[in-house]
Structure 1
């Protein structure tokens, strides 16, 4: 079986994967070093390349499990130590994404993901605004890292926001993702300490017979309006172009990630009738089609009215306010994970969205759209933004390079 396989094949392999898992689970768990590992399914064998023009984990299809981690450099650690850390992290990421063991700081692989295969693992690295002062690289801090403005739905916890370094881990197997998380944390050693960590999930590839746009914990299809790689302006919207200021050339081929922990007030949301929920969003809950008619991928007709003369997609509907047509063409590539961290002290679910969006310019992408949503989005009363981060994500590493080398060795 080819190690590189489109995720779209996972659905076709799902049925056989279930049989293999049921029959081979016990022997796989008890396997010794002398026994042959169990055969991988299409999901387990899928490998994402580490090296390339862009870092993995940006245009990679949504993965079933994710970990987001921010680190702060330890006192006394500077540019030299940061470069050594990025070299270690890149080396570990390359091996892990290929499904190979990594020794890390312990001298041996933990065996957490033994026999699991690559499982579409991606590891993505970014730099926060504070990273540049702490490494003596202030002149290379791009203006896109200027602080995000405050918004009315913000209830931000500073301890769970921002950070010097950011790592996004995604995989289609929870053990593979955790294995990578442990490796990244161990390689940080004494150079950097964890500032915050958030864990998320999505639907497992192959769980449905045909690929569907992801649903969030409100039950709504989420991501329909994302720019598509086939769009002529996709790269322009998502990736930083080359040929700009020499001080920021290290970011060419990279992107900016805005990360928000958005709590969904699910108890309040679930009290609404489905028809009311659909008017809040502006799309049908069953299939994501706009209320103006058609299928999920049908363009919204923002001027279409019903027999009563009222707009079918209300003025304050989330889909209308966030649409590129209402934001001077502004768009971002949303690639989130859902999260559930148990029950809060008030008895409500601590659950929602680990919102991650990618854009070439945060001011023209996230900030433009969020400002518009902040002024009257019908969905806002059911959301609370509890943490926030903005990170510059360098372009991909060429063979023989580590991520961020063009910055740290400039």
Structure 2
């Protein structure tokens, strides 16, 4: 089956979702293949949720949601059952319902904008935020010790209206309309239980999560994610990404992970006036080849001590951060112009990890010493515990919400 692309993402639909995405930018489509299979379907069921170790697709629609007042734990269980069934169908390229409603006086089961499109390697990934574990649902005793609001970090200039959330959903696909359709319909299914707090569209993956993928470039023009954790490295995934069976890790999260999202605005106009030499000294790699400074091969052994002391690559390297590693699968974004007429564009950083302290350790170092801080601002943030995967017939989050 051939993937059908859209030149731009057409917005509309659910009122709450439309409001959350108002002003979002658009970008031209691009042919990619995330390797889901000949029918472009990524399996929904498994020990881990898809969309983490899955080869990174080209498009993103991310949404953070809050639970409405008066909702009960039973309501949440019902919602997760609906979301599980809908996501399994969506990832197979089907309508969200078992059959489109033909009742003229009732809304259709599915919004319809993905009819005729392939599954486009769609993955849908769900997480729960620290705020879900307050006194509303009797979950306080089940909150993992590692799941709390991220502390204030150096370089933070956060917009709280674009940060945090009780729940999150990450939809990734190789067609922007397929990713948008997924979040739009999940938001519809959640009406009366959850509302969209904020959302972000993304294009052009900024990391490789598989050895089969070439290293992409971010909006600064540099290759990004050369040394990222790769899905094929099972040992690294177990050590750095998946929650296992340590005494401090709750049983309901076993096979899950933690997700940090950061909306990082790039000061594009300032960066574009910097010399090539300054850009390369800032990053610690050659712009064209992606090789570490002084080398010619992108994958040459990186020796942090040989790079400028305030370069981004040196400060982000595991050897500089007590071995801390993250699985990054972020996306570029562009949302038009900000109030002063400058581009509102940059990196929507997404990283999965076994313990959020890995990110906190990293950002404390980067936020205080990274030369790249001259050209970026961290303006949005959130942390979620990503639920384990499910077997056929089971429901996401059932162990937590039982």
SS at match of 1:235: helix
Residue 57 and residue 203 in structure 1: after superposition, are their counterparts in 2 closer, same or farther (change >3 A)?
A: closer
Partner of 1:123: 124
Contact 1:78 1:136 in 2 (8 A): no
SS at match of 1:391: strand
Partner of 1:51: 45
Contact 2:261 2:348 in 1 (8 A): yes
Q: Which residue of 333, 336, 354 corresponds with 1:339? A: 333
Q: How many residues align?
A: 361
Partner of 1:98: 92
CA distance in 1, matches of 2:216, 2:33: 20
Q: Which residue of 184, 190, 209 corresponds with 1:188? A: 190
CA distance in 2, matches of 1:140, 1:175: 37
Q: Shift of the alpha carbon at 1:179?
A: 1.3
Structure 1 residues 129-171: Cα deviation after superposition (integer angstroms, max 9, x where no partner): 1112232110000011122121231111111111111110111
Q: Shift of the alpha carbon at 1:379?
A: 0.4
Give the alignment of 1:159-170 within 5 angstroms: 159-170=161-172
CA distance in 2, matches of 1:175, 1:166: 19
Q: Which residue of 364, 369, 376 corresponds with 1:371? A: 364
CA distance in 2, matches of 1:371, 1:260: 14
Structure 1 residues 191-245: Cα deviation after superposition (integer angstroms, max 9, x where no partner): 01111111111169xxxxx942121111111111211233333211001003535
Contact 1:132 1:141 in 2 (8 A): yes
Q: Shift of the alpha carbon at 1:177?
A: 1.1
SS at match of 1:222: coil
Residue 71 and residue 298 in structure 1: after superposition, are their counterparts in 2 closer, same or farther (change >3 A)?
A: same
Partner of 1:233: 236
CA distance in 1, matches of 2:311, 2:5: 44
Residue 78 and residue 287 in structure 1: after superposition, are their counterparts in 2 closer, same or farther (change >3 A)?
A: farther
Q: Shift of the alpha carbon at 1:343?
A: 0.8
Partner of 1:220: 222
CA distance in 1, matches of 2:64, 2:272: 32
Contact 1:243 1:249 in 2 (8 A): no
Contact 1:122 1:169 in 2 (8 A): yes
Structure 1 residues 310-354: Cα deviation after superposition (integer angstroms, max 9, x where no partner): xxx211100000000111111101110111000112111000111
Structure with the greater alpha carbon radius of gyration = 1
SS at match of 1:401: coil
1:197 aligns with 2:199: yes
Q: Shift of the alpha carbon at 1:42?
A: 6.7
Partner of 1:171: 173
Contact 2:289 2:296 in 1 (8 A): no
Q: Which residue of 393, 396, 405 corresponds with 2:398? A: 405
Q: Which residue of 330, 342, 346 corresponds with 1:352? A: 346
Give 5+ residue unaligned stretches, structure 1: 2-16, 23-40, 205-209, 305-312
CA distance in 2, matches of 1:182, 1:170: 13
Q: Shift of the alpha carbon at 1:63?
A: 1.6
SS at match of 1:345: coil
SS at match of 1:199: strand
SS at match of 2:239: helix
CA distance in 1, matches of 2:345, 2:248: 41
Q: Which runs of 4+ in 1 moved over 4 A?
A: 41-44
Give 5+ residue unaligned stretches, structure 2: 7-31, 101-105, 207-211
Partner of 1:73: 67
CA distance in 1, matches of 2:146, 2:298: 33
SS at match of 1:261: strand
Cα RMSD (Å) of the superposition?
Answer: 2.3
CA distance in 2, matches of 1:110, 1:185: 11
SS at match of 1:145: coil
